[in-house]
Amino acid sequence: MTRLNGKTAVITGGATGIGRAAAKRFVEEGAFVFIFGRRREALDTAVADLGPNARAVQGSVSDEADLDRLYGAVKAERGTLDIVFANAGTGSPLPLGQITSEHIDETFDTNVKGMIFTVQKALPLMREGGSIILTGSSAGTTGAPGFTAYSASKAAVRNLARTWAEDLKGTGIRVNVLSPGATATELAKEALGEEGQKAYGAMTPLQRMADPAEIGAVAAFLASADSSFMTASEVAVDGGLAQL
Supply the mean pLDDT for the chain.
95
pLDDT above 80: residue 47: yes
150 is catalytic: yes
Q: What is the mean pLDDT of residues 35-64?
A: 98
The radius of gyration of the chain's CA atoms, rounded to the nearest angstrom, is 17
Relative to beta strand 81-86, strand 234-237 is unpaired
Q: What is the pLDDT of residue 15?
A: 97
Q: Check if the beta carbon of residue 200 is closer than 8 Å to that of residue 164.
A: no
Residue 192's pLDDT band (cuts 50, 70, 90):
confident
pLDDT digit string (tens) for 48-59? 999 999 999 999
Classify 8-237 by CATH class: alpha beta
Q: What is the mean pLDDT of residues 77-83?
A: 98
Q: Check if the beta carbon of residue 58 is closer than 8 Å to that of residue 42.
A: no
Q: What is the mean pLDDT of residues 110-131?
A: 98
- Give the CA dihedral 226, 231, 236, 237, nearest 10 degrees: 30
Q: Among candidates 125, 38, 37, which has minimal Cα distance to 77?
A: 125
**Rounded alpha-carbon distances, angstroms, from residue 124 to 57, 75, 80, 234:** 19, 10, 9, 25
Residue 185's pLDDT band (cuts 50, 70, 90):
confident
Distance CA 148, CA 120 (A): 26
Distance CA 73, CA 243 (A): 40
Q: What is the pLDDT of residue 94?
A: 94
User: Which of 121, 154, 169, 189 does the annotation list as catalytic?
Assistant: 154
Residue 105 phi/psi, 5-degree rounding, is: -60, -45
- Per-domain residue ranges of the chain: 8-237
User: Which of 7, 24, 150, 200 does the annotation list as catalytic?
Assistant: 150
Q: What is the pLDDT of residue 189?
A: 78
24 is catalytic: no
Q: What is the pLDDT of residue 191?
A: 65
pLDDT digit string (tens) for 132-166? 999 999 999 998 889 999 999 999 999 999 999 99
pTM summary value = 0.96
Q: What is the mean pLDDT of residues 65-92?
A: 97
pLDDT above 90: residue 125: yes
Higher pLDDT, 186 or 109: 109
pLDDT above 80: residue 1: no
Q: What is the mean pLDDT of residues 186-213?
A: 85
Distance CA 175, CA 118 (A): 13
pLDDT above 80: residue 24: yes
